[in-house]
Amino acid sequence: MIKEFIKSTQRKLEKTAKTKSKNSLYFKTYSFLLTQLRPIYFSDEFLLLKGLKRKSSSSQQSILFFTVHKSASTFIKHTIIKIIGRKELVPINLGGLLSLDDQAKHYNNKALMSKVLKERGFYYIFRSYNDFPNLDKFKILLVLRDPRDVLTSHYFSTLFNHPLSRKEVIEDREKYSKLSIDEFVLKYAIELAAEYEDYCNYLLPRENVLLLKYEDMVGSFPSWLRKLTAFLTPIDKEDVLNKIISETSFVVKKEDKNSFIRNIKPGDHKNKLKPETIDALNKLFYSSMLKLGYEI
**Of 72, 119, 6, 62, which Cα lies nearest the Cα of 225?**
72
Q: Specify the 3-state DSSP secondary structure of 77.
A: helix
Residue 248: phi, psi to the nearest 5? -105, 135
Integer Cα distance of 149 and 127 in angstroms: 16
The CATH fold of domain 42-292: Rossmann fold (3.40.50)
- Return the pLDDT at 20: 57
pLDDT at position 231 is: 97
pLDDT the model gives residue 27? 64
Running along the chain, 296 residues long, what does each successive block of 10 average in pLDDT?
58 58 66 75 92 90 96 95 95 93 95 97 97 97 98 88 65 78 96 98 98 96 97 94 92 54 77 97 98 94
* C-beta of residue 8 within 8 angstroms of C-beta of residue 141: no
Rounded CA gap, 45 and 19, in Å? 32
pLDDT, residue 260, reads: 43
Q: How many CB atoms lie within 10 A of CB 105?
A: 12
Q: How many residues does the chain have?
A: 296
Q: Would you list the domain boundaries of the chain? A: 1-41, 42-292
pLDDT at 254: 57
Amino acid identity, position 59: S
Distance CA 281, CA 72 (A): 22
Please give the pLDDT value at position 37.
76
pTM: 0.87
